[in-house]
């Protein structure tokens, strides 16, 4: 019985994630501060149109991950969020394991008002209610990669850093990057 109650609480936590209003979805906004264009833009010239499930993930990503980061650090620039399979191949995205960008759960970003990737990651380190599975400080680009976790708490919250985009090492706020 106790296991059922715990499973039920985790399921309720997933459904408690913020969802957009109909006016936001029809206005071209995935959330109050993030447009569909921002979440699907690509410089490859290839089609990059998310299906219904991918759009739902992007909405959850915008509301539950990007909005809190923006609230804390001001405007942020998204360099990559959703990627179709063709776009992911064209930009050299991971195939195995599959990139979280393919299903609308991954985003690469940086703050526009001067906060570094390490400063954002340090703040996220203490934000255990934000549904993150993986946080990667990409020192070679200056970006921060965030991957939203779909199921409820506890969130995996794996913090990593990379200097070259190929080798990854554990990261904590005390780690020098």
Which pLDDT tens digit goes with each residue over 75-111? 999 999 999 999 999 988 877 678 899 999 999 999 9
pLDDT, averaged across the chain: 85
Output Rg (C-alpha) for the chain, integer angstroms.
16
User: What share of the chain in percent tops pLDDT 90?
Assistant: 68
132 pairs with which residues across the strands?
Answer: 148
Name the helix (H) or strand (E) containing 106.
strand 106-111
Which pLDDT tens digit goes with each residue over 129-163? 999 999 999 999 999 999 999 888 888 899 999 99
In a domain, 158, yes or no: yes
In a domain, 82, yes or no: yes
CATH of the domain at 55: 3.30.1380.10
Contact in structure between 77 and 88 (CB atoms under 8 Å): no
pLDDT at position 174: 84
State how beta strands 158-162 and 132-138 pair. Answer: parallel
In a domain, 175, yes or no: no
The distance of Cα 150 from the centroid of its chain, to the nearest Å, equals 11
């Amino acid at each position: 019985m106790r296991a059922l109650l715990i499973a039920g609480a985790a399921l309720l936590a997933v459904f408690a994630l913020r969802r957009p209003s109909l006016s936001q979805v029809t206005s071209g906004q995935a959330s109050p501060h993030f447009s569909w264009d921002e979440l699907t833009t690509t410089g490859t010239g290839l089609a990059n149109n998310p299906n219904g499930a991918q759009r739902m993930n992007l909405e959850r990503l915008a509301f539950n991950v990007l909005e809190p980061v923006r609230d804390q650090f001001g405007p942020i620039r998204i360099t990559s969020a959703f990627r179709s399979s063709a776009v992911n191949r064209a930009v050299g995205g991971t195939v195995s394991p599959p990139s979280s960008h393919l299903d609308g759960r991954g985003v690469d970003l940086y703050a526009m008002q001067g906060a570094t990737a390490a400063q954002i990651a340090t703040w996220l380190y203490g934000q255990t209610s934000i549904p993150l599975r993986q946080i990667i400080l990409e020192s070679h680009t200056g970006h921060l990669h965030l991957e939203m976790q779909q199921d409820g708490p506890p969130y995996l919250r794996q913090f990593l850093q990379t200097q070259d985009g190929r080798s990854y090492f554990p990261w904590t706020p005390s780690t020098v990057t």
